[in-house]
C-alpha cells in the first residue's frame, strides 16, 4: 500500500508484531541520535497501540539517561488521572526504566489549555527539532489532538490549545502541526479495523490531519488495511 506522503509503509500481521517492530525501531533511532548528538528527544503518543509498544520498549537496550521524554498531546485533566497520556506512559514504560525524573516533561494542564500550550511551547522552543514523534490515528483521521476542522490544526504555534474536541475532554494541549512535521522522524502506529475508513480517505487524497504529517513512517496491522 502506498500512502500519500509516507516515507514507508510496513504491514504487520498483528498488533503485537507491530508493537515489537516499532519498539525496535525506536531503540535504533535512540542509539543513533545519542551517538550523533548526545541526546534523544522523543514525543510519546497516547492510545492502546503505543501502550503495547512501550511495554516492548522497556525491555530493550536504550541509554535512558540520555533520553528526553515529551508528549504529543495531553487532555486537560488533573495530574495523575488515569485518562492522561503521561499516566499511561508512566505505567507502561517510565516507571520500569532507569530514566532521571528531570528527563520527563509532562504537558502542564492544571491551569487550562491556553496556559498549558504557552508553557509547553516555551519549554520546547530551545530544543527543537525533536528527534522522533510517535503518532496514532483516530477513526476520524485525527492525530495527537489535531482534529479535522478544528482551528488548532491550522495553527503555526509550537504547542496549541485545543477547545471543542469531539472526544472528551473537550480541552486539550497538542504539539502543533509544524512542530510535528519538523521532527527528524515521524512514526505512525495504526492498528484495528476501526482505522480502515480513515486510511481509505487518506488513500483517496483527503487532507486529514494525519495525512498532513509528512514524510512519515507508517506501521499498520493487517486488520487496519482497507479492503
Check whether 83 has a pLDDT greater than 90: yes
Check whether 84 has a pLDDT greater than 90: yes
pLDDT tier at 198 (50, 70, 90 boundaries)?
Answer: very high
CA dihedral 41, 98, 103, 120 (to 10 degrees): 80
pLDDT tier at 185 (50, 70, 90 boundaries)?
Answer: very high
Using alpha carbons only, give the angle 102, 179, 97 rounded to the nearest 5 degrees: 30
Q: How far is CA 168 from the centre of its chain?
A: 18
**Mean of all residue pLDDT scores within the chain:** 97
Q: For the whole model, what pTM was predicted? A: 0.97
Q: With beta carbons less than 8 A apart as the criterion, state whether 192 and 223 touch.
A: yes
Check whether 227 has a pLDDT greater than 90: no
pLDDT at position 43, please? 99
Contacts of 158 (CB under 8 A, 6+ apart): 120, 121, 124, 125, 128, 175, 176, 178, 179
Check whether 93 has a pLDDT greater than 90: yes
pLDDT at position 223, please? 97
Check whether 99 has a pLDDT greater than 90: yes
CATH class, domain 6-224, is: alpha beta
List Cα–Cα distances, 206 to 49, 56, 126, 196, 209, in angstroms: 24, 33, 34, 14, 9
Domains of the chain: which residue ranges?
A: 6-224
Q: With beta carbons less than 8 A apart as the criterion, state whether 214 and 135 touch.
A: no
pLDDT tier at 208 (50, 70, 90 boundaries)?
Answer: very high
Residues 149-174: tens digit of each pLDDT: 999 999 999 999 999 999 899 999 99
pLDDT (average), residues 200-217: 97
Percentage of the chain with pLDDT > 90?
98
Residues 64-74: tens digit of each pLDDT: 999 999 999 99
Residues 35-66: tens digit of each pLDDT: 999 999 999 999 999 999 999 999 999 999 99
The conformation of residue 108, written as its DSSP 8-state character, comes to P
Check whether 92 has a pLDDT greater than 90: yes
pLDDT at position 2, please? 87
pLDDT at position 27, please? 98
Amino acid at each position: 500500500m502506498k500512502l500519500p506522503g509516507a516515507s514507508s509503509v510496513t504491514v504487520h500481521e498483528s498488533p503485537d508484531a507491530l508493537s515489537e517492530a516499532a519498539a525496535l525501531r525506536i531503540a535504533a533511532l535512540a542509539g543513533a541520535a545519542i551517538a550523533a548528538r548526545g541526546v534523544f528527544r522523543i514525543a510519546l503518543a497516547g492510545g492502546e497501540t503505543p501502550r503495547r509498544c512501550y511495554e516492548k520498549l522497556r525491555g530493550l537496550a536504550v541509554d535512558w539517561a540520555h533520553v528526553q521524554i515529551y508528549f504529543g498531546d495531553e487532555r486537560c485533566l488533573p495530574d495523575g488521572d488515569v485518562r492522561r497520556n503521561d499516566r499511561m506512559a508512566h505505567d507502561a514504560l517510565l516507571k520500569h526504566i532507569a530514566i532521571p525524573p528531570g528527563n520527563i516533561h509532562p504537558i502542564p494542564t492544571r491551569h487550562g489549555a491556553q496556559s498549558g500550550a504557552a508553557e509547553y511551547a516555551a519549554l520546547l522552543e530551545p530544543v527543537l527539532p525533536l528527534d522522533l514523534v510517535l503518532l496514532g490515528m483516530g477513526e476520524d483521521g485525527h492525530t495527537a489532538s489535531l482534529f479535522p476542522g478544528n482551528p488548532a490544526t491550522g495553527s503555526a504555534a509550537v504547542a496549541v490549545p485545543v477547545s471543542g474536541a469531539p472526544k472528551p475532554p473537550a480541552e486539550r494541549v497538542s504539539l502543533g502541526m509544524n512542530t510535528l512535521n519538523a521532527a527528524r522522524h515521524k512514526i505512525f502506529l495504526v492498528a484495528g479495523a476501526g482505522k480502515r475508513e480513515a486510511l481509505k480517505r487518506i488513500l483517496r487524497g483527503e487532507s486529514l490531519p494525519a495525512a498532513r504529517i509528512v514524510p512519515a513512517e507508517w506501521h499498520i496491522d493487517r486488520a487496519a488495511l482497507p479492503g
